[in-house]
C-alpha cells in the first residue's frame, strides 16, 4: 500500500524530470545535434503545413517553437517532437475559412483543456486497445505519404495546383512530370547518397547535416537552377507574441465540436507517435502525461498565434535517427527554430529543397517497418493482414482519422467474429451406469432428470444466438448451466440468460449455475438473477451444482 501513491504520481511525471538524473555530456551533445537537424527538417514542413492549413507561413513556425518546447518539457515521451502535422491541415483550413483565426485560437485552447482532462482522468491507457496491425499499417502509410509529399521537391517539379491530400499530390506529380528539373534531381540524389554512405565512414557527424552543408554550397556557388527554402517562402522574422481573442459563451458553444475534433486527433496521433517511437528506442512512454503535455502545448501554441499541434512521427523518427534520446532534443529543436526565425533566416533559406526531400525519404524508409509488414503478411491470420492493409491504404488515400476509425471498427468486428466462433454450448446428458461407454468416461454422473450445459467463450451479442437452443429438450426438471469458461459477458448475454430463466420458470424447470466468474456474476447480480433464483442455486463447482440438482429432484419426488 505504501508504494501505490508513488506509482500514481509517476504516471503524471514528465519524462524530462526522470531522465535528467542520469544525463551525460555525451548524450547532451547528441541531443543538441539531433535538435538542430530536426529543426532544419521542421522548418520547411512547418511552413508548408501552415500554408496548407490556410494560415500565414510563420504561424507554422510559431507552432513548432511554442508547442514543440512545451510538449518536450512536460511530455511523457523521451523523444517526441511536436508541431503542426498533415493530419490537421484540412480540419484547420475548414475552421479558419468558417470561423476565422480567432475561432481557430478558441477551438485550439478548448482542445488543449480537453486533452489535459483526458490525461488527468487517465484516458491515455486506451491506446493499448489499438491493435498492433493498425499501428503498423498507420506507420507504413505515413511513410508512404511522406515520400509522396516530397516527390515534387526531389524532382524539382512545378505544380499548377497546391494539393493537400496525398493522392492529389501524386496525381499532380504525374500531371507536372513535364516540368522535371534534372539539376534538382541531381542534388537530391547526391544528398541521398551522402545520407546512405556517410554513416559507413563517419558516424559521429550526422549525415543529414553534411548533406545540408554540401548541397547548399553546391547550389549556391554553382548557380544551379534548384529551389531553396528562400525561393519558395517569404517569412516574417518577428518572434511569436501572446494575444487572446474575445470570448463569449455563444462562440464557445459553437466551437465545441471543432475543439473535440482537434483534441481527439491530437491525442490519437501523439500517442500513436509515442508507441512507434517506443518500438524504435525500446522505451515506454507515459501516455497520460503525454496527453497533459499535448494539452498545455496546444493552449500555448494558440495563445502565441500558432495552430493545433501534436506528436509528429516523421520528426520524431528523425530525432531518434540522429541520436536524440531525451526531451532536451525537442527543446533544442524549438530553440533552434526560434533562432533561425529571428536571426538566421537568410542562411536557412539557402538550403535546397531536394536535400530536405532526401532527408525525409530516409526518415520514411527508417520508420516504415517494411520488414515487419512483410513478415506479418506471410505469417499472420488473414483477418490481421486485412486490418493492416486497410489501415495502410486509407492512411495514404484519405487521412489518419479515417484510417484509424475504419481500422478499429474492422478489427473490432473481426475480433467479435472470432470470439463468436469460439463461443458455444456443450450439452451433458444423463448416463446410466449399465450403458456407460468410453465416449462418456470423462463426464460427471448427471442426475436422470437434469441437463447440464457448459458455455464456452464470452457471452456477448455476436454469439447470443448460440445459447438459445439450451432448452430444446423440455422433458427435464433441472437445467444446470456451467460457466467456468465464460470470462466475460455483456448486456445481451445477460438478457439471453434472463430469457432462458423465464422459459424454464414457465415450464417448471429449476435452474442451477456452476462456477460463474467475477464479471458475469456482477452483471447477473445487477440483472436480478441471483435474487430471483436464490444464492443456493449458484455453486462454485460442478460437483456441488450436481448435488444441488439432485436435491431439487429428490424434493420434487418427495
Concatenated DSSP letters of 192-232:
HHHHHHHHHH--SS-HHHHHHHHHHHHHHHHT-S--BHHHH
* Residue 92: inside a domain: yes
Say whether both 453 and 518 belong to one domain: yes
Domain boundary among 304, 334, 369: 369
* Residue 146, C-beta contacts closer than 8 angstroms, at least 6 positions apart: 314, 360, 361, 363, 364
Number of C-beta neighbours around residue 278 at 10 A: 15
* Residue 221: inside a domain: yes
Domain boundary among 345, 369, 393: 369
Residue of 82, 77, 87, 88 whose CA lies nearest to 119: 77
- The C-alpha atoms of residue 27 and residue 348 are separated, in whole angstroms, by 26
Say whether both 196 and 299 belong to one domain: yes
Per-residue pLDDT, 7 = 41
* Residue 385: inside a domain: no
Residue with cell 447470443: 464
Q: CB of 540 within 8 A of CB of 512? A: no
* Residue 488, C-beta contacts closer than 8 angstroms, at least 6 positions apart: 458, 459, 460, 517, 519, 520
Tell me the three state secondary structure of residue 369: coil
Say whether both 78 and 192 belong to one domain: yes
> CA 324 → CA 78, 270, 318, 364, 507, distances in Å?
9, 18, 9, 17, 72
Computed from CA positions of residues 309, 314, 317, 319, in that sequence, does the dihedral angle turn out positive or negative? negative
Say whether both 281 and 144 belong to one domain: yes
Note down pLDDT in tens along the chain; length 558 residues. Answer: 344 444 444 468 999 999 998 999 999 999 999 999 899 888 877 887 887 777 888 899 999 999 999 999 999 999 999 999 877 876 787 788 889 999 999 999 999 999 999 999 988 877 667 777 887 887 788 788 878 888 998 999 988 887 767 888 899 999 999 999 999 999 999 999 998 888 766 655 667 778 888 999 999 899 899 998 788 777 778 899 999 998 889 999 999 988 988 898 899 889 988 988 998 898 899 999 999 999 999 999 999 999 999 999 889 988 998 899 999 999 999 999 999 899 877 777 788 889 888 888 887 887 788 888 888 888 778 888 899 999 899 988 887 668 878 888 888 888 777 677 766 666 655 444 444 444 443 456 788 888 888 888 887 766 666 666 666 666 788 999 999 988 888 888 888 888 888 888 888 899 999 999 999 999 899 888 999 999 999 999 988 999 999 999 888 876
Q: CB of 296 within 8 A of CB of 77? A: no
Say whether both 74 and 137 belong to one domain: yes
Determine how β-strand 310-311 pairs with β-strand 82-83.
antiparallel
* Residue 389: inside a domain: no
> CA 61 → CA 43, 156, 244, distances in Å?
7, 24, 19
Quote the distance between the C-alpha of residue 255 and its chain's center. 25
Determine how β-strand 478-485 pairs with β-strand 510-514.
parallel
Per-residue pLDDT, 470 = 62
Say whether both 286 and 206 belong to one domain: yes
Tell me the three state secondary structure of residue 50: helix
- The C-alpha atoms of residue 400 and residue 86 are separated, in whole angstroms, by 9
Say whether both 58 and 170 belong to one domain: yes
* Residue 399: inside a domain: no
Say whether both 229 and 357 belong to one domain: yes
Domain boundary among 324, 354, 369: 369
- The C-alpha atoms of residue 299 and residue 446 are separated, in whole angstroms, by 67
Determine what percent of the chain falls in helix, strand and coil, rounding each to the nearest 5: 70, 5, 25
Determine how β-strand 450-456 pairs with β-strand 424-428.
antiparallel
1 grid coordinates: 500500500
* Residue 433, C-beta contacts closer than 8 angstroms, at least 6 positions apart: none
**How many domains would you assign to the chain?**
2
- The C-alpha atoms of residue 512 and residue 535 are separated, in whole angstroms, by 10
Say whether both 334 and 469 belong to one domain: no
Residue with cell 529551389: 227
Say whether both 148 and 9 belong to one domain: yes
Q: Which ranges of 340-477 would DSSP assign to H, the alpha helix?
A: 345-348, 353-368, 370-379, 382-397, 400-422
The domain in which residue 349 lies consists of 4-14+24-369
* Residue 413: inside a domain: no
Q: CB of 294 within 8 A of CB of 115? A: yes
Say whether both 433 and 365 belong to one domain: no
Say whether both 469 and 364 belong to one domain: no
Q: What is the DSSP string of 448-472?
A: TTEEEEEEES-B-GGGGGGGGGGGS
pTM: 0.68
* Residue 406: inside a domain: no
* Residue 462: inside a domain: yes
CATH number of the domain enclosing 474: 3.30.750.24
Amino acid at each position: 500500500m505504501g508504494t501505490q501513491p508513488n506509482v500514481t504520481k509517476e504516471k503524471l511525471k514528465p519524462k524530462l524530470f526522470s531522465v535528467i538524473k542520469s544525463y551525460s555530456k555525451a548524450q547532451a551533445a547528441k541531443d543538441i545535434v539531433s535538435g538542430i537537424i530536426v529543426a532544419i527538417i521542421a522548418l520547411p514542413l512547418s511552413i508548408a503545413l501552415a500554408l496548407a492549413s490556410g494560415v500565414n507561413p510563420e504561424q507554422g513556425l510559431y507552432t513548432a517553437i511554442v508547442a514543440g518546447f512545451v510538449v518536450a518539457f512536460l511530455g511523457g515521451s523521451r523523444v517526441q517532437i511536436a508541431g503542426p502535422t498533415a493530419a490537421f491541415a484540412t480540419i484547420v483550413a475548414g475552421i479558419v475559412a468558417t470561423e476565422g483565426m480567432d475561432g481557430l485560437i478558441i477551438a485550439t485552447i478548448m482542445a488543449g483543456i480537453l486533452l489535459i482532462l483526458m490525461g488527468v482522468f487517465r484516458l491515455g491507457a486506451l491506446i493499448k486497445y489499438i491493435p498492433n496491425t493498425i499501428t503498423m499499417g498507420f506507420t507504413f502509410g505515413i511513410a508512404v505519404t511522406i515520400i509522396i509529399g516530397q516527390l515534387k521537391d526531389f524532382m524539382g517539379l512545378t505544380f499548377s495546383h497546391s494539393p493537400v491530400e496525398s493522392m492529389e499530390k501524386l496525381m499532380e506529380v504525374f500531371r507536372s512530370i513535364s516540368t522535371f528539373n534534372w539539376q534538382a534531381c541531381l542534388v537530391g540524389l547526391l544528398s541521398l547518397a551522402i545520407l546512405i554512405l556517410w554513416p559507413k565512414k563517419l558516424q559521429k557527424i550526422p549525415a543529414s547535416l553534411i548533406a545540408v552543408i554540401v548541397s547548399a554550397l553546391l547550389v549556391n556557388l554553382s548557380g544551379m537552377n534548384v529551389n531553396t527554402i528562400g525561393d519558395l517562402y517569404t517569412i516574417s522574422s518577428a518572434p511569436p507574441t501572446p494575444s487572446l481573442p474575445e470570448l463569449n459563451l455563444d462562440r464557445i458553444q459553437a466551437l465545441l465540436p471543432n475543439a473535440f475534433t482537434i483534441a481527439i486527433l491530437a491525442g490519437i496521433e501523439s500517442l500513436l507517435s509515442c508507441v512507434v517511437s517506443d518500438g524504435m528506442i525500446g522505451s515506454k512512454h507515459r501516455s497520460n502525461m503525454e496527453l497533459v503535455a499535448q494539452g498545455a502545448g496546444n493552449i500555448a501554441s494558440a495563445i502565441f498565434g500558432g495552430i493545433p499541434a501534436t506528436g509528429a512521427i516523421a520528426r520524431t523518427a528523425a530525432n531518434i535517427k540522429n541520436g536524440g534520446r531525451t526531451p532536451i532534443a525537442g527543446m533544442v529543436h524549438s530553440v533552434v527554430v526560434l533562432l533561425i526565425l529571428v536571426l538566421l533566416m537568410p542562411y536557412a533559406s539557402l538550403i535546397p529543397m531536394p536535400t530536405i526531400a532526401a532527408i525525409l525519404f530516409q526518415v520514411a524508409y527508417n520508420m516504415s517497418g517494411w520488414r515487419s509488414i512483410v513478415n506479418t503478411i506471410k505469417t499472420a491470420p488473414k483477418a490481421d493482414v486485412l486490418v493492416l492493409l486497410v489501415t495502410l491504404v486509407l492512411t495514404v488515400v484519405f487521412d489518419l482519422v479515417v484510417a484509424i476509425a475504419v481500422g478499429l471498427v474492422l478489427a473490432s468486428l473481426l475480433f467479435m467474429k472470432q470470439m463468436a466462433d469460439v463461443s458455444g454450448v456443450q450439452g451433458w446428458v444423463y448416463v446410466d451406469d449399465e450403458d456407460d461407454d468410453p465416449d462418456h468416461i470423462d463426464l460427471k454422473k448427471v442426475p436422470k432428470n437434469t441437463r447440464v450445459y457448459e458455455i464456452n467463450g464470452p457471452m456477448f451479442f455476436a454469439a447470443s444466438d448460440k445459447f438459445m437452443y439450451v432448452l430444446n429438450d423440455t422433458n427435464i426438471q433441472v437445467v444446470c448451466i456451467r460457466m467456468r469458461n465464460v470470462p466475460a459477458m455483456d448486456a445481451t448475454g445477460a438478457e439471453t440468460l434472463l430469457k432462458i430463466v423465464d422459459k424454464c420458470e414457465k415450464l417448471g424447470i429449476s435452474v442451477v449455475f456452476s462456477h460463474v466468474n467475477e464479471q458475469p456474476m456482477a452483471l447477473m447480480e445487477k440483472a436480478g438473477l441471483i435474487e430471483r433464483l436464490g444464492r443456493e442455486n449458484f455453486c462454485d463447482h460442478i460437483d456441488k451444482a450436481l448435488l444441488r440438482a439432485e436435491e431439487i429432484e429428490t424434493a420434487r419426488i418427495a
